[in-house]
Structures are given as C-alpha cells and as structure tokens.
C-alpha cells in the first residue's frame, strides 16, 4: 500500500476575533482626519444648496430619477450623456491604480468605505466597552448585567449610525430636507424605506460584525492589487535586518555585553494589537494588511519608550528590503513608467470631459426619414418626403424654435402636427416630436436622392442644432 498522508487537524484555520487596540501617532491622526472629512461629505452633501434658476432643483448634488437627470453643482447630466459616468469610472480606476503604484493598498487603509465605517464602529466600541484588554477580559467573564447593558448600548449606537447611513443615501435622490421630514413622519415613498433598510442592514453587518473579513475574504481588490504592484511601491514593512533577533530589553543588554547581536524588536506584539485585521507585519506582506500604518505608530511609541530609533516598521519598498539584506543604502523611485502613465490617462480623460462639458449645446435635433413610402408624388408633379423630427430642449424654460431645411433648391418645409409653418414651442427639459413634410415643387424635383440638412434655431438665433438626412425623388 502506498504511503498516505493522514490529516488529523482542521483543513482551515479557525477564525479568531480581532480586538484592535487604540493608538496615536502620525498615521492615526491622518486616518481620523480623513474619516471626519469623508463622513462629513457623505452625510452633509445632500443638504448643500445650489441656485440653478427657476424650474430647476436647488440641491447641489441630486440624482433626479423621475426627471432622469443628475445634478452636481453647476453640472447637469442627461441620460444621453452616460459617457460622462464612463469617464468618471475610468478616472476612478486610474486613480486607484496610481495609489497602488505609489503605496500599495493605501486606498484600503485610509479611504475605502469599509475602512471608514469600521473605524467609526471601532471608536464607538471603545467608547462604550473600553480598549482592547478591557474588551478581552469582559468577553472572558461572560454575561453580567453590566455586560448586557454595554453590548445593548453599543449595538443600538451601531444601528443608529447604520440607519443614518442608509437615510443619507436616499437623500441624494430627492430634495433632502423634504424627504428627511417625510421619512420621520411616515410620508416617504415605500422604496425609500426599503433602501434605508438595506443600507442599515449592510452597514451594521459589514462594519460591525464582518469587519476584517470583508477586507480579507470578500473584497477582490487585494487579489487584483497584488498582481499589479511592483517592487518600487511603498508598503508597510518590517526592517528585519535591524529587528532580528527579537528579545526583551534586558536580554538585549546582556547580549550586547557578550558582544552578540540583538535586534531592536522586543516582541511586544503592539504592532499586532493595533492592526484592524490582526496581521503580524513582521511575517512580511500579507493579504490582510490594508497599509493603514497603525502598526508604524504603535512601534514608534515603543521604540521611543525604550530609547531606540523609530521606523522599525515603516513604509518601504521590496527593493530596499533586499538592499538592506545586502548592506546597501535604500533608494526610492517614485517617478517611473506607471506613475507617469496613470496621471496622463487621468488628465486626458478629465480634459476631454471638461472640453465636452464646456462646449456642449442645450438644443439638439434628431431626424428620422419615413420608410414606407420614401416619397409621395403629388397631383401637380411635386414630390413630398415625410420625416419625424425630435427637438430636445435642455433649458429650464419654454423655447420657440424654427425648423428649416437646406439642400436641393426650392425645398419647402411644413410642420404637420403643429400649427403649420415652421415654428414650434418646446417645453422646459423636454423632447418635442414633430411630423414634418418637405416638398420639392414640380420642376425642382432632383433627379436622384440628395443630401439635405435640417436646422433648428431658437427664437434668439444664438443657438442652432443641425442634422443631415436625404431627400428622395421617388
């Protein structure tokens, strides 16, 4: 019989609850600042006002589904302009790639919504239950009245934050003050309560209970990022050549007296204690590390207390890690091909979008020729072609427009479904469909199909729109 390997233990490691410890320092301060800024933007943005004139909403950022409009301060996007969202997605992707090229998963550590809301939930948890050691001891003691009260308080606060998160989301789809009042009085549409419920549930579960599991198991970015990074990207790293071998301060002093090497790392595990995903950075780059830098702050505090240089854990590159092993000085190369290509793409896409926004018209025309019949011969020998002309008015007021046609000599245009003639009125933010007849009088009928150009001009004469089509003699 062939030898067989007998597995006696579990196939997968049992997940251990992570109790992140509070810390302070440069990177913790940056995270607090970014968290306050991003949450303020998310919760307060719907209440900002922006005067767009009469007949238009005054909410600065609004996704108006009934009117099929997206408003962002002075920018108004129509459904036909969905390519602007494509441009924004390209810019967002390139920005993410650029951050990855510069500093790995720095997006995950500072700006990802999972990180931001989890940080907020951690802060509430520490405020109610205490820091890491207190929470571990309370969990070991089991259920007491005081413990139940603390947990109930924490989860109520979590649910309130989650509910406000869902509530803020729906405020982007209607006038925020009005909808907020309707939500509290029960007068809001049912779909608003459904979405508040969905966002409340997902925020509470992901930020309160799943936490690091979202970053490690659910999010695809760590896998993608690992394939896109290079050896020049800055990542949170442990300086092994300086830190090893690990030993206590007393043992290190004794080792120095004996002339032996002693590392600066005293194996205090503070870098692990403060990590929101429970990673030991001393084991090298890992999937769970979100590059938040909290372990750097924690290690620097310890190094300062024992009188040793800081930055034993720091942002560094794979190149420098290898160079230190060889006794070479560190080198940095922030400017390289990928850190130049990504900004160029971002600027190019942003430039095209800005140019398109700055030069776009607010009056459009589309023409569709009748298919059956293509042409009708009148009793007097004249030939008539029928067209459907759609005029789009993107202004917030009525506009009187005049439709004309150019191409073959003596062509005559008449609006059939209007009051006759060549003029019509298009309502604000509306599309008007016109049935138009173009006639070539007898004696002026072209011998073969000719190109014609339809022109729509508003009453001021300052704005025109054109569309090219054909006139058929038969």
Write down the domain spans for the chain.
Answer: 26-228, 235-323, 363-471
Model pLDDT, residue 48:
94
pLDDT tens-digit series, residues 317-342: 989 888 888 888 888 888 899 999 99
Residue written as token pair 């009088």: 441
The residues with which 393 forms a beta bridge, in sequence order, are 363, 430
Is pTM beyond 0.85? Reply is no
Q: In 3D, which of 191, 198, 136 has the Cα closest to residue 163?
A: 198
pLDDT tens-digit series, residues 67-83: 888 989 988 888 878 88
Q: 363-471: what fold?
A: Immunoglobulin-like (2.60.40)
Query: What is the CB neighbour count within 10 angstroms for residue 305?
Result: 11
pLDDT band at 1 (very low <50, low <70, confident <90, very high): very low
Model pLDDT, residue 243:
86
3-state helix, strand, coil in the chain (%, to 5): 45, 20, 35
Opening angle at CA 210, ends 205 and 213, nearest 5:
150
E strand residue ranges, 276-398: 313-316, 363-369, 376-377, 383-393
Task: Give the N- to C-terminal CA distance of the chain in Å, as an integer.
Answer: 90
Beta-carbon contacts of 249 under 8 Å, excluding residues fewer than 6 positions away, are 266, 306
Residue written as token pair 């695809």: 220
Give the separation between CA 468 and CA 325, rounded to whole angstroms: 70
Say if residue 436's pLDDT is above 50.
yes
Q: In a 3-state reduction of DSSP, which class is residue 57? A: coil
């Amino acid at each position: 019989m062939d030898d067989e390997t007998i597995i006696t233990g579990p196939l997968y490691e049992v997940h251990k609850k992570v109790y992140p410890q509070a810390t302070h320092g440069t990177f913790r301060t940056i995270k607090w600042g970014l968290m306050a800024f991003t949450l303020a933007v998310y919760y307060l943005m719907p209440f900002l006002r922006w005067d767009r004139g009469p007949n238009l909403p005054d909410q600065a950022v609004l996704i108006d589904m009934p009117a099929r409009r997206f408003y962002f301060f002075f920018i108004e996007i129509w459904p036909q302009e969905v390519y602007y969202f494509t441009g924004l997605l390209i810019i967002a992707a390139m920005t993410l790639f650029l951050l990855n090229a510069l500093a790995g998963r720095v997006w995950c550590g500072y700006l990802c919504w999972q990180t931001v809301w989890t940080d907020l939930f951690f802060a509430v948890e520490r405020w109610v239950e205490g820091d890491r050691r207190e929470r571990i001891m309370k969990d070991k003691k089991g259920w007491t009245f005081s413990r139940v009260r603390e947990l109930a308080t924490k989860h109520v606060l979590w649910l309130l934050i989650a509910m406000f998160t869902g509530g803020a989301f729906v405020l982007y789809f209607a006038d925020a003050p009005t909808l907020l009042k309707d939500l509290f009085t029960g007068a809001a549409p049912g779909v608003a309560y459904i979405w508040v419920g969905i966002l409340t549930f997902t925020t509470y579960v992901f930020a309160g209970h799943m936490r690091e599991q979202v970053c490690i198991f659910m999010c695809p970015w760590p896998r993608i990022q690992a394939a896109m990074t290079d050896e020049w990207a800055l990542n949170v790293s442990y300086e092994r050549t300086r830190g090893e071998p690990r030993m206590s301060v007393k043992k290190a002093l004794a080792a120095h007296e004996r002339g032996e090497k002693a590392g600066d790392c005293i194996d205090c595990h503070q870098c692990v204690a403060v990590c929101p995903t429970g990673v030991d950075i001393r084991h090298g780059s890992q999937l769970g590390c979100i590059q938040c830098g909290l372990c750097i702050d924690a290690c620097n505090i310890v190094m300062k207390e024992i009188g040793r240089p800081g930055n034993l854990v720091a942002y560094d590159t794979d190149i420098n890690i290898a160079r230190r092993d060889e006794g070479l000085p560190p080198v940095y190369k922030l400017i390289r091909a990928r850190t130049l290509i990504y900004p160029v793409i971002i600027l190019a896409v942003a430039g095209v979008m800005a140019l398109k926004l700055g030069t776009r018209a607010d009056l459009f025309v589309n023409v569709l020729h009748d298919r059956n019949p293509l042409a009708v011969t009148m009793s007097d020998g004249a030939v008539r072609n029928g067209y459907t002309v759609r005029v789009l008015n993107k202004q917030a007021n009525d506009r009187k427009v005049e439709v004309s046609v150019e191409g073959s000599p003596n062509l005559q245009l008449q609006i059939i479904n209007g009051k006759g003639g060549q003029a019509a009125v298009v309502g604000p933010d509306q599309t008007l469909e016109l049935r138009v007849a173009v006639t070539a009088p007898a004696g002026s009928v072209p011998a073969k199909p000719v190109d014609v150009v339809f022109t729509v001009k508003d009453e001021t004469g300052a704005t025109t729109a054109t569309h090219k089509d054909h006139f058929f003699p038969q």
